[in-house]
Structure 1
Amino acid sequence: MQPPSHNVSGSAPVLATNRRVPVEGVSFSITCTLDAAVTSTVRFYKGDTSIQGACLSSGTCGTSVSGYNVSLDSTSRILTLDITSPDSTRDSGTWRCNDGTTVSNMITLSQFAAVLDWSSVTFSPQLTSLPSSVTPQNTISVTVTTPCAAPAAVITWRYQQSVSGAPPSSTSSSQGSCPSGQVQTTNTLSLPGNTASLYNRQVSLTVSVEHDSFDLPTYTKSVTSNTIQFPVPVTTVTLTNISSVHETIGLATGQTLTLICVTSASFPTSTVTWVTLPSGTPPTVSRETTSGVLVKTTSSVTFTVSKTDQGRSIHCQAENINGQTSPQSNRATLEVWYPPDKPTTTNPGTLCEGKSTSLTCSSSPYPGNPPSTYYWTKDNAAVHTGSSYTFSPWKTDNGADIRCAAGNNYTDRAGSSRRQSDARLLSVYYMGVPTITPAATQTRKEGQSLSLTCSADGNPDNAVISWTFNDSPIPGSSVMKVDLNRSDDGEYVCIGRVNTGSVCPGGSLQGRSTVRVIVNWNPDRSGVSASSLGIGLGLGLGICIIVIIVMGAGLRRRHLLSTHDRGKPAAQIQDRDIREQPTGNTQNSGIQDLNQYARFEECASQPYSQLKIYENNKGRVPHEPEYKGPKERSQTTYETVALHTYESTDRNVKDPTYVNASTTG
C-alpha cells in the first residue's frame, strides 16, 4: 500500500540514519522521529509501496523482512529500523516513514561501503621514524597506501604546532587487484627542507585517512609523526674584536693579530667566511650546540700583520641556507704602523748657479704610517725638512752630496733608524770670480813691463778668458804682458765665461775681476799756449812731474841751472843731459818760437825737486847764489797739488813762488 499523501496539523516525522552510508557487514539503522506520541500505526516505506516495518499505537512493532528489526522508544518517540548486515541489493532504494497523517523526508541508500581495514594501511617510512631534523637540501617523503576499499579512502596531511597550510602531497587510486567496485588508494608526501614557511620551527606531521567504514563521527583515522626541526637560518655573526661599525684596530707591523667571529645558533651549522683576509691565513673553526640541533659556530684567524695590511678592512659573513641573505659582521679596519720604504729623490740634472730648483723626496709604494717626515742633508749637514726642497745652487754646491731621510714615529722609536735615500751628487754650472795675479793696484814706471795672470774657476771647466782695458776689449788670454807707457794707465778687467747651453738663461755664465794699473812717467819739454796752465809737482817717492807753461811772444830763452852751471855758455848747457823738445803749435799766434832748457836734479830719486825758471840772457846764465840742493824732508804723501796761474804779459813771466829769479827787459 502507498503511504498517505495528505498532511495534517503538526510537524512531519524526520527520517535519519546512523551512518552516512551503509557498510557491508556493519549494523546500519534508520530512525523516524515523531513530533508527537504515536496515535496510529507508523510505517517504514522503501519506495512508494513497500512496507519494511511498522509500530502500532499500542507499542507493538514488527517487520516481515529478514534481517530487519523495528523498535519504538515511546519516550523519545523514535522508531528504529535496524539492518543487521546491510545488503546493497536488498537495501538500496528511497526510504520514508509515515505516522499515519504525515510523511517524513526521504533518504536514498544507493552507495554501500566495503570495510577498510585500518591495520592494513601502510606508511613508508613509518611516521614515528622520520628524522628529527631536515636540512634545506633534504626532503621529507612519506607514502601512505590503503588496502582495497569502496569507496576510495581520502588521505590528507596537516601540520601540528599551529602551523597554517597543508604539507604538499599527491593522491592516486587504482583498482589493481581489488574486487570489482573497490580501489586501492596511495598518497605521497614530499616536503622540502627549504620550505621557508617552516624555518625556525619544530613541526609534527599528521596524516588522516577518511573512510565510510571508519568510526563515527569523523570516519577518520590519523597518525602523527615525531617532531621535526626545520632549518633555522643564521641571523647574526659578530666580530668580537670590535663593537662598532668600521672600528679601527691599531698595531705595528710584525705584530700578531687574532680575529674571532661568532654566529647565532642555527641549523644546519653555519659556515663562516672571512672577507679580505690576508691570503694564506687558514681559519680555525669550533662549534657549540645550544639546543637540540642548533649550533653556534666560532671561527678565528691569526696572522702577522705587515705594511701591506695598512687600511685593510676585514669582516666575516655566515651562511647556512642557500638563497638566504648572509649576515655580515661589522668591519674592522687595520691601522698598521710601519716604517717608510727607502726614499728616493728626483734627479736634479745639471743645475745653474743662482737659478732656483726643487727636489722632491718620496717613499714608494709604502710611504710609512704614520705619514713620514722627510729630512734633507747636504754634505751631511741638515738643510731642510719637508718632502720638497727648493734652493738656489751656488758654486759651493757643485759636487755636494745631497740626500733625504724618511722618518716617522715607527723609525724614531728606540732601536730604530730612519731610512735614507741614495746620494745625489749635484752638478752645478757656475762661473766664479776670476783671480788676477797680482791682484792689488799696480804702480809702475813708464817703460817697465807688467805681467797680469788671470785664472777662472768654472763649470764646465773650459772657461774662456778675455780682457778689457778701460771698458774696451783688448787681446789677451790667461797671461797678459804689457810694456808700459803712459797710455796704459787705467783699469784692466779679466772676464771668465763658460757656455752652459740650455741649463742657464742666455746659454752662458760669466765672472769679472778688475785691477788698477798706475803708470808714472817723467815730464817732457813741450810748448803750451798762452792760455794754458800747467805745473807738475812731485808726488810720492821718486816721482816728479814738471809742466812748464811759457806765455807771451818774444820771451827770451830761459834755463834751469844748478849752482855749478853759472857763467857757462848756453851751448854747453845744451850739451848736457838735457833733452830738447820742439815747441808745438799754441793758441797764441804771437809766439813764433820758444826754446826751453830744463834740468832735473835727480828728481826721479828725490822726494822733493825744485824748479827754477830764467829768462834767456844771451846764452849765459846770470850769477846766482849757490844752490845747495833740496833739503831732506820727511816722507809725506801729497793728496792735493797747488796749481799757479801765470798771466801773459808783453815780455815777462812772473813766478811768484821763485823770488830769486832775475829778469831782463
Structure 2
Amino acid sequence: MDGETSSSLRVSVEGNNSYSCAVTGYEDYRSPPVYGPKLPSVSVSPSAEIVEGNSVTLTCSSDANPAANYTWYKENEDNPLSEGPQLVFSSIQSSDSGQYFCTAENMLGRRTSRSISIDVKYGPKLTSVSVSPSAEIVEGSSVTLTCSSDANPAANYTWYKENVYNPLSEGPQLVFSSIQSSDSGQYTCRARNSLGPNTSKPISIKVKYAPKLPSTSVSPSGEIEEGSSVTLTCHSNAYPAANYTWYKKNGNPELQPLSENTPLVFRSIQSSDSGEYYCTAENELGRRTSRSISIDVKYGPKITSVSVSPSGEIMEGSSVTLNCSSDANPAANYTWYKENEDSPKASGQIFTITDVRPEHSGNYYCEAQNSRGRQNSTLHLIV
C-alpha cells in the first residue's frame, strides 16, 4: 500500500501483501517490510531410510516478518502434536508412520505446508501360524498352514518341521493336498526382510488315522515249553490310540475274544493252547487285523500206551505185533525192552515177533522219548 500518511496504519491484511513505512520526505529510506508467512517447507533428518528405533527430526521453516510460530500435525488426527519449528522422535516407532504437516503463523497470516510422508521400516514381528481347517485333521484331507507377520518391507517366509534340518518350502502358505500320519509334528515359519528375521511359535499338527497293519510278537521268542509263561503282544500305529483284541482260530466264524486292550498272557501254557492266533486294532476311523502267529507248545511224551495184535490168545508158532503210541511234541522215538534184559529188543513204534515160542512170554515195555522227556508203558505177554 502506497501513499498513506499517518504515524499508524490499521488495515485488513489480504493475500501476501507486505508493509513498510518511511518518514515523510524520506520515502527512499523505508523500514524493513512486515508480511505474513510464506508457504512453509518441511525437511527430514536423516534423509535416508527411516528405521524403527532411530532418532528422526522434522523441521518446518517459513519466511515471515515478524518470525512465525510453528505447529505440527499428523493427518487424520485432530489435536496438534507439538509447537515449535522441530518435531523430534527420539526413538521412532512403526506406529509413527503417516503424513505430517506444519503451520506457520504470525500476526499477518497463517500458512500450511504440504504433507510429508514418513515410512518407518522395521523387521518382522508378531509372526504367527494359522491352520485351515481348524477342526480335527484326518489323514487324506487337505490342510493349509498360513504364516503372517507385521513387517516393513513385507517379509519373505520359510517353513520348518521339528527335527528336519532342511526347510520344507518358501512362501506364506504350506499346503498338504493329502496329509499323511507321517506329517504329524511341530511346524514353525520364519519371516525375514532386510532388517532381520522373526520365528513363529511352534504349532502342533496331529493327524488322525485308522490303525496300520498290526504287528505281533511272542515272549519268550524261542521254543515254547509246556508249563512256561508266554505273552503275545499286539501293536499298531494309530491316532487316536487303537484298542486291541486277541482271537484264536478254530473254524468258528463267531469267535470269542480272548483278551482286550492287554497282552494275551499264558501263565502256564498247555499243549491245548497250540494253534493260530491273531489280533485286531480298532479306533474311530477303522479296524485292521494282524497276520496270524503260530504257537507250537513243546512237551514230553504222555499218555503212552501199548497194544497187542492179535488181541486174543497167542499160540506158539504164530506172529504177534506190539504197537506203542504216545502224545508228544516233537514226536517221540520208541525203544522196546523185555524185562530183565539189558539190551533193547527193537526200535520204532511197532515191534513184531514171528514164530512165537513159550520163552517169548514175559513183560515188555516201550519207552517213548523226545527232547522234553521220556515215559514207559508195560505189556504182559503170555504165549
- TM-score by length of structure 2 reads 0.55
What is the distance in 2 between the residues matched to 1:393 and 1:332? 49
Secondary structure of 1:355's aligned partner: coil
What letter corresponds to residue 362 of structure 1 in structure 2? H
* Kept after mapping to 2: 8 A contact 1:449/1:484: no
- Return the match for 2:370 from 473, 498, 502: 498
* Kept after mapping to 2: 8 A contact 1:273/1:318: yes
Residue 92 of structure 2 aligns with which residue?
Answer: 195
What letter corresponds to residue 215 of structure 2 in structure 1? P
For 1:244-643, what aligned pairs fall within 5 Å after superposition? 249-251=136-138, 253-254=139-140, 256-259=141-144, 261=146, 276=161, 301-310=175-184, 312=185, 333-346=205-218, 348-363=221-236, 366-367=237-238, 369-378=240-249, 384-386=258-260, 388-391=263-266, 392-394=269-271, 397=274, 402-409=276-283, 410-412=285-287, 418-421=288-291, 424=294, 426=296, 428-438=298-308, 452-454=322-324, 458-461=328-331, 463=333, 465=335, 467=337, 475-476=343-344, 477-478=346-347, 479=351, 484=358, 488=362, 492-499=364-371, 508-517=372-381, 519=382
Residue 3 of structure 2 aligns with which residue?
Answer: none
Quickly say closer, same or farther: Cα 1:432–1:273, change in 2 above 3 A: same
What is the distance in 2 between the residues matched to 1:223 and 1:301? 50
Relative to its length, the structure with more strand (as a share) is 2
Quickly say closer, same or farther: Cα 1:139–1:455, change in 2 above 3 A: same
Quickly say closer, same or farther: Cα 1:234–1:262, change in 2 above 3 A: same
What letter corresponds to residue 271 of structure 2 in structure 1? W
* Kept after mapping to 1: 8 A contact 2:270/2:297: no
Q: Deviations over 1:120-142 (max 9, x none)?
A: 997668xxxx99x9775999787
- C-alpha displacement at 1:249, in angstroms? 0.8
* Kept after mapping to 2: 8 A contact 1:467/1:493: yes
What is the distance in 2 between the residues matched to 1:202 and 1:407? 63
- C-alpha displacement at 1:357, in angstroms? 2.0
What letter corresponds to residue 431 of structure 1 in structure 2? P
Any stretches of 5+ residues in structure 2 without a counterpart?
1-18
What is the distance in 1 between the residues matched to 2:342 and 2:150? 104
For 1:157-168, what aligned pairs fall within 5 Å after superposition? 160=74, 161=77, 162=79
* Kept after mapping to 2: 8 A contact 1:358/1:388: yes
Secondary structure of 1:436's aligned partner: strand
What is the distance in 1 between the residues matched to 2:169 and 2:289? 30
What letter corresponds to residue 235 of structure 2 in structure 1? S
* Kept after mapping to 2: 8 A contact 1:135/1:268: no
What is the distance in 2 between the residues matched to 1:274 and 1:465? 77
Quickly say closer, same or farther: Cα 1:375–1:351, change in 2 above 3 A: same
Q: Deviations over 1:417-454 (max 9, x none)?
A: x3533654737354254342318987668999966443
Q: Deviations over 1:256-311 (max 9, x none)?
A: 2244759699876576776759985776x6xxxxxxxxxxxxx684521112235x
* Kept after mapping to 2: 8 A contact 1:353/1:395: no
Secondary structure of 1:338's aligned partner: coil
What is the distance in 1 between the residues matched to 2:317 and 2:160? 99
What is the distance in 2 between the residues matched to 1:226 and 1:216? 26
Quickly say closer, same or farther: Cα 1:85–1:146, change in 2 above 3 A: same
Higher RCO (C-alpha under 8 Å, 6+ residues apart): 2
What letter corresponds to residue 264 of structure 2 in structure 1? Y
What is the distance in 2 between the residues matched to 1:395 and 1:473? 38
* Kept after mapping to 2: 8 A contact 1:234/1:266: yes
* Kept after mapping to 1: 8 A contact 2:302/2:375: yes
Quickly say closer, same or farther: Cα 1:345–1:168, change in 2 above 3 A: farther
Q: Deviations over 1:380-399 (max 9, x none)?
A: 776744563334242894xx
- C-alpha displacement at 1:498, in angstroms? 1.9
Secondary structure of 1:359's aligned partner: strand
Quickly say closer, same or farther: Cα 1:257–1:201, change in 2 above 3 A: same
What letter corresponds to residue 379 of structure 2 in structure 1? V
CA RMSD of aligned residues (A): 6.3
* Kept after mapping to 2: 8 A contact 1:231/1:268: yes
* Kept after mapping to 1: 8 A contact 2:159/2:174: no
What is the distance in 2 between the residues matched to 1:356 and 1:394? 13
What is the distance in 1 between the residues matched to 2:135 and 2:368? 65
What letter corresponds to residue 278 of structure 2 in structure 1? C
Any stretches of 5+ residues in structure 1 without a counterpart?
1-25, 29-66, 70-83, 87-112, 148-152, 170-188, 209-213, 286-298, 413-417, 500-507, 521-665
- C-alpha displacement at 1:195, in angstroms? 1.7
Q: Deviations over 1:37-73 (max 9, x none)?
A: xxxxxxxxxxxxxxxxxxxxxxxxxxxxxx999xxxx
What is the distance in 1 between the residues matched to 2:106 and 2:131? 61
What letter corresponds to residue 361 of structure 1 in structure 2? C
Quickly say closer, same or farther: Cα 1:321–1:159, change in 2 above 3 A: farther
What is the distance in 2 between the residues matched to 1:370 and 1:454? 54
* Kept after mapping to 1: 8 A contact 2:277/2:293: yes
What letter corresponds to residue 390 of structure 1 in structure 2? V
Secondary structure of 2:213's aligned partner: coil
Secondary structure of 1:199's aligned partner: helix
In terms of Rg, which structure is larger? Answer: 1
What is the distance in 1 between the residues matched to 2:72 and 2:335? 116
- TM-score by length of structure 1 reads 0.36
What is the distance in 2 between the residues matched to 1:463 and 1:428? 15
Secondary structure of 2:136's aligned partner: strand
Aligned length: 335
What is the distance in 1 between the residues matched to 2:191 and 2:170? 16
* Kept after mapping to 2: 8 A contact 1:313/1:333: yes
What letter corresponds to residue 373 of structure 1 in structure 2? Y
Q: Are 1:225 and 2:98 matched, yes or no?
A: no
Secondary structure of 2:177's aligned partner: strand
Q: Deviations over 1:334-377 (max 9, x none)?
A: 341223135243474222234342232323xx346551524444
